[in-house]
Amino acid sequence: MHKQRGFTLIELLVVIAIIALLMAILMPVLRKAREQGKDMVCRNNLRQIGLAANFYAGEYSFLIPRSAEWGGNIKPWFQLFMPFLSQRTVNDDYRNVKIFRCPSYPDKRQTVCFVVNGWANNQSGDGDWHMQGTPTKLTACKKPTLSIYLADNEDGPWRTIIIKATDRDVTRCDVFRPSHLPNSEDQGIGSGRRVARARHKSGCNCLFLDWHVEWITAENMTEEMWNFEEYD
């Protein structure tokens, strides 16, 4: 009769070491693949919003919404675009629309994961920055391929979480001054950085006014990309 032989302690340790080594190799690859998947979802969401914005402009004399006005008659862009989205809403509530969210946004309570171009024309450059509240003709943009309309919303203690469309801080989901851009170190509630510095790797996804989507690094984003009507 032959004695059944099991694994020795050394053999078990070798197997465990090999498994640990394989896991150490595979985990970064899996993590990278997961982040790439989230990035692709974000880009696709922006493309869907771009289609809705284009349909909206065609319906309303080529006007597109800019900054929202709290307590006023100007609704935010994500409410105005709902009728033109492929994804249907429930009870006309924008929070049912997943297209408005980036899966990489850290706080899952956030319902508005993108900030809109509210850069007013003829900024003085002396610190007197103001937002563009009224809609603007799409045809007013001189270089739509170089002008950003939407970008990833920054997260941080100075960035408020939008729970519903009537929240006052909906008005802080626009970009209209240099301190809102990703290279800014400003963390003020009103003046602080609003465009994500590193949502996807070292940059963020942007929807341009010709409705293409592009990833831009923080260091390559300029004020001119937000200057809607005066791009030289």
Q: Residue 170 domain-assigned?
A: yes
Q: Residue 172 domain-assigned?
A: yes
Q: Residue 126 domain-assigned?
A: yes
Give how many domains the chain has, as a whole number: 1
Report residue 38 as tokens: 């989230």
Report residue 232 as tokens: 């030289």
206: exposed, middle or buried (Cβ count in 10 Å: 0-12, 13-18, 19+): buried
Look up the pTM and report it.
Answer: 0.84
**Locus of tokens 């170190």:** 185
Q: Residue 28 domain-assigned?
A: no
Domain extent at residue 215: 36-225
- Whole-angstrom Cα distance, residue 165 to residue 173? 11
Q: What's the one-letter identity of residue 195?
A: V
The DSSP call for residue 170 is G
Q: Output the CA–CA distances (angstroms, integers) from residue 56 to 47, 121, 162, 170, in the order listed.
A: 14, 22, 23, 20
Region of residue 114 (phi > 0: left; psi between -120 and 50: alpha; otherwise: beta): beta
Instruction: Output the tens digit of pLDDT for each of the chain's 232 residues.
Output: 555 566 677 778 888 888 888 888 777 766 777 888 899 999 999 999 999 999 999 999 999 999 987 555 678 999 999 999 887 777 778 888 889 999 999 999 999 999 999 998 765 555 668 888 889 999 889 899 999 999 999 999 999 899 988 888 888 999 999 999 999 999 999 999 999 999 999 999 999 999 999 999 999 999 999 987 754 4
Q: Residue 169 domain-assigned?
A: yes
**Cβ contact 172:182 at 8 Å:** no
Q: Residue 17 domain-assigned?
A: no
Q: Residue 72 domain-assigned?
A: yes
Q: Residue 78 domain-assigned?
A: yes
- Whole-angstrom Cα distance, residue 203 to residue 225? 15
Helix%, strand%, coil% for the chain, nearest 5: 35, 15, 50
